[in-house]
Amino acid sequence: MHNYKELLSLFESKLEKEIETTGHRQPKYLYEPVAYTLKAGGKRIRPVLLLMAHELYNNQLEKAIPAAIAIEMFHNFTLLHDDIMDNASLRRNNETVHVKYSYNTAILSGDAMSILSYEYLNRVDSKNFREIFSIFTNTALKICEGQQFDMDFENQNTVTVDNYLDMIGMKTAVLIAASLKIGALTANAPMHEANLLYEFGYNLGMAFQLRDDYLDTFGNTHTFGKKIGGDIVSNKKTYLMLKALELANDELSTKLRALMENAAISADIKIKQVISVYEQLDVAKLTIDKMEEYYQKALLCWENLNVSNNQKQELLLLANTMMNRTN
Amino acid sequence: MHNYKELLSLFESKLEKEIETTGHRQPKYLYEPVAYTLKAGGKRIRPVLLLMAHELYNNQLEKAIPAAIAIEMFHNFTLLHDDIMDNASLRRNNETVHVKYSYNTAILSGDAMSILSYEYLNRVDSKNFREIFSIFTNTALKICEGQQFDMDFENQNTVTVDNYLDMIGMKTAVLIAASLKIGALTANAPMHEANLLYEFGYNLGMAFQLRDDYLDTFGNTHTFGKKIGGDIVSNKKTYLMLKALELANDELSTKLRALMENAAISADIKIKQVISVYEQLDVAKLTIDKMEEYYQKALLCWENLNVSNNQKQELLLLANTMMNRTN
């Protein structure tokens, strides 16, 4: 069994070649932004999880590479288009594509990435191809649905904690889940195992996203890498905010809504005051509890995998790293 | 053999059901614009060509329906995103999606349509599925490439007639070609026949696009349905304009470029003067000749199809209609 670092290094060497080829395809302004986006990196968690799942059942990692690239391509496509929709100017410390190139280039290059992900998927040589294709497409559509719900929530005052959990399930957890299941299927794992890995990934993805919400407010500025409180400043309806609104009495609820509607307040004061409400309602602990609940569900799935502990320990280590990350 | 009208009616009844289902999927603002776009209609030439090609070799039309819907879905996705990029406010007399809803909705609904086209493709039950998937994906990517070249050309002064023909090949002809080939493959036609149909469709598509260029300038206002001269007013580098620039002597070339750069000139005068240059260079006839050249190539493919004339006559009739259309 290879560990995260080894699989990452294997994946990146494969991806680099594809980036090189893609970046030179014509027309330049369609493919150069694709290469630019893929080059920017990121942790490559999804493709590495896919390779790890594959290796639980088969050591021919080559067989899993095209699917791993397809997943990473699709993930980066969603980031590219999300950045247009969120009007974000930076991604992984680089200018976003619509800033560096243009809106139209960003739309069209994103479209191409979405199709390119199917081009890679089409290189998958597996008797489970149709099943893999189904999972991939269903997941892709769910991610769009999650993004739409996320945008809808911005203008809705009635979003519940459950709505939010459903949304992050679609926007984040299903792709992590699908990566693992597809990895298992490229290795011809039994369907029961593939489904367990899906459930493992789904719960891990949920915990991962909740940790993200937590860190944005309660993280350490030095290790987090970006400014603390961004979600509060932008009135983002995170798990923390929705839980607070759910638990708040009239007075605190009024205070929170007033803070959200106050356009004149300074960012620092707003962050401080919202956090003070969170503290009164014990929101930090409740978020960690929820995260832990998902993580425990994930662990149960992991335990039930019909693979020796020795074989599957790297998967647990990676899950642990994802939960203990500080950025 | 069914004729165009019968196949159109069959296709539309199937599509209508899918629109109904899709329009009710959640979240509303992801799927309602998809249904809105598909409902707007159009001639459904691509899916009907697909069904016609299928019926040359197999009369189980049901087998071809999912691929026909996939093709129509993908075509409408490209129109939706092209309209954002072209900043168009009307499509088939309806407000475009980014005008009726919002830019973000248009981007994301388009993304969903692109993926939905793969959802329908995944319903194709055929031993040729992998081949069909390849053609579909290659074609989809070529269409993006064509759109990028089209956008690039706007800012390039060195575009040649050949560049233009390559571009419309990607943007228009390959999808018509792919529709026919995929139709043949869902019917398990011999690969040689499927390839002949591809070539038939490619040439037909080229002729079809050239006719489009021709009509925009030399069409009849009453039958064309939109104002004549739109391409001239917007300085579009059509076959007509590029052919004129290729043939023009210094004096006429200078005149054409001056007309293109003159922002103060009235639309009517600009149209009149550009047409007068076109007339001096015989551009109308040259365009029709080129169109005819492609159409003859298409006919040769049609003749070589190993299917009785009686069987394949509806395909010829439809091709004829496409070439004689006045709008």
- Predicted pLDDT at B227: 78
The answer to whether B109 touches B80, Cβ cutoff 8 Å, is: yes
Q: A167 pLDDT exceeds 90? A: yes
Contact B173, B45 (CB under 8 A): no
- Tokens describing residue A68: 């791993």
Nearest-by-CA chain B residue for A130: B122
Interface-testing mutation among A22, A30, A120, with chain B (most B C-beta atoms within 10 A): A30
Sort B222 into a burial class: Cβ within 10 Å, 0-12 / 13-18 / 19+: exposed
Helix axes A65-86 and A174-186, enclosed angle (nearest 10): 170
Calpha distance B267→B212 (Å, rounded):
20
Asked if B185 contacts B139 with a C-beta cutoff of 8 angstroms, the reply is: no
Contact list, B151 vs chain A (CB under 8 Å): 29, 104, 108
Residue range A6-47, pLDDT digits in tens: 999 999 999 999 999 999 999 999 999 999 999 998 899 999
**H-type helices in chain B, by residue range?**
4-23, 28-39, 45-55, 65-85, 97-100, 103-121, 129-154, 161-168, 174-186, 191-218, 221-224, 230-233, 239-247, 250-261, 267-280, 283-304, 309-324
Task: Name chain A contacts of B29, Cβ cutoff 8 Å.
Answer: 148, 151-152
A91, β-bridge pairs = A94
| B30 contacts A148? CB cut-off 8 A | yes
Nearest to A144 among B115, B130, B140 (CB): B115
Chain position carrying tokens 């509607």: A261
Neighbours of B196 (CB within 10 A): 23
Strands B90-91 and A90-91, how do they pair?
Answer: unpaired
Fold of A4-324: Farnesyl Diphosphate Synthase (1.10.600)
Residue B223: predicted pLDDT = 67
**Model ipTM value:** 0.96
Is it the case that residue B326 has pLDDT exceeding 60?
Answer: no
- Residue position matching structure tokens 């917007």: B234
Asked if residues B323 and B295 have their Cβ atoms less than 8 Å apart, the reply is yes
Weakest-pLDDT range from A243-247, B19-23, B222-226: B222-226
Q: How far is B130 from chain A (nearest CA, A)?
A: 8
* B84–chain A Cβ distance below 8 A for any pair: yes
pLDDT at A205: 98
CA distance A75 to chain B (A): 13
Average pLDDT rounded to a whole number, residues B278-299:
97
| Residue B236 token pair | 């579009």
Burial category of B276 from C-beta neighbours within 10 Å (exposed 0-12, middle 13-18, buried 19 and up): exposed
What span, in angstroms and rounded, lies between the C-alpha atoms of A175 and A181? 10
Inter-chain residue contact A115 with B133, CB threshold 8 Å: no
**Shortest CB distance from B30 goes to which of A26, A140, A144?**
A144
Do the Cβ atoms of B108 and A133 come within 8 Å? no
Nearest to B145 among A27, A118, A133 (CB): A27
Kindly indicate the confidence band of residue B225, based on its pLDDT and cuts at 50, 70 and 90.
low
